[in-house]
Amino acid sequence: MKKNFFIIIFFVFFIFPNNSSAYSNDPKQFITEIVNEAKKILVKTNSKEFKTKKLSKIAMKTVDIIGVAKYTLGHHRKKLNDDQTQEYFALFEKYFLKVFAERLTDYSEPKIEVLSAEVANPKYTIVKSLLLATDKKPEVKIDWRVYTKNPDKPLIRDLIIEGLSLARAEREQFDSIIKSNNGDVTKLFVSLKEFINK
């Protein structure tokens, strides 16, 4: 009896959590698994809070948030000291998760087909997918920029919707805010805080 108890504990705490959080290292399969997981969350019966919480967890595991944060700030990050850099990363993570959840929670039971993967270079693979049309919305092509520098742990770095990079749009927003404040990066922090607390 005691032996069985330890076996159960072992499975519950060590085996199952690892299985549930491990994604494939093949970029196409990696995206397919994320899409399937998101589909289960984005059902009509789930509350927005539940969807936000669950989607944020997926994003934390599958998106290179620090990489995207660096890209989004571009050359301005050279102006930051170490403390400011850490503050920026923390703010960006909250900002990113809020944007990510808000963009996705409006979709109820989306029908997404993962179509193919194309290796751009050793560091990046582009995975192509299609959000199928509904009565209200047209079909949308979604490409996922997957960072494959560590082939055992692919990470998402960008979503390219109908050929338009969301990371690039974010980068240009941040650049515009900084430039309109005479290059003061801390003004971007203020805008990020306002958005997070909105």
Partner 1 sequence: MLRKFVYITAFAFLLQIGSAIAGSTGSESLKKGSSQSSAPECFEGVSRAVFSINHALDKVIFEPVAKGYRAIPHPIRKGTGNAVDNLRSLLTFSNNILQGNFSGAANTAGRFVINTTVGILGIFDPADNFFGLEDQGKEDFGQTIGYWGASSGCYFVLPILGPTTIRDSIGLVGNVFLDPVYQITHNTEVNAGIGNQSYSEHNYYYYRGTGAVDFRAKNIESFDTLEETSIDLYASVKSLYLQNRNKKIMNSQSSIETQDDSDWEEIDTN
Q: Which residues bind partner 1 (CB under 8 A)?
A: 67, 70-71, 74, 77-78, 98-99, 102-103, 106, 118, 120-121, 123-124, 126, 128, 135-138, 141, 143, 145, 149, 157, 160, 162-165, 168-169, 171-173, 175-177, 191-192, 194-195
Q: Least distance to partner 1 from the beta carbon of 159, Å? A: 10
Q: How far apart are CA 45 and CA 64, in angstroms?
A: 30
Please give the single-letter amino acid code of residue 141: K
CB of 126 vs partner 1, minimal distance in Å: 5
Q: Considering beta carbons, is residue 2 or 198 the nearer one to partner 1? A: 198
Q: Is the separation of the CB atoms in 122 and 154 below 8 Å?
A: no
Nearest approach, Cβ of 17 to partner 1 (angstroms)? Answer: 31
The 3-state DSSP composition of the chain as helix, strand, coil percent (nearest 5) reads 60, 20, 25
The secondary structure of 82-145 as a DSSP string is HHHHHHHHHHHHHHHHHHHHHHHHT--S--EEEEEEEEEETTEEEEEEEE---SSS--EEEEEE
Nearer Cβ to partner 1, position 1 or 163? 163
Task: State the minimum distance, in angstroms, from the CB of residue 25 to partner 1.
Answer: 19
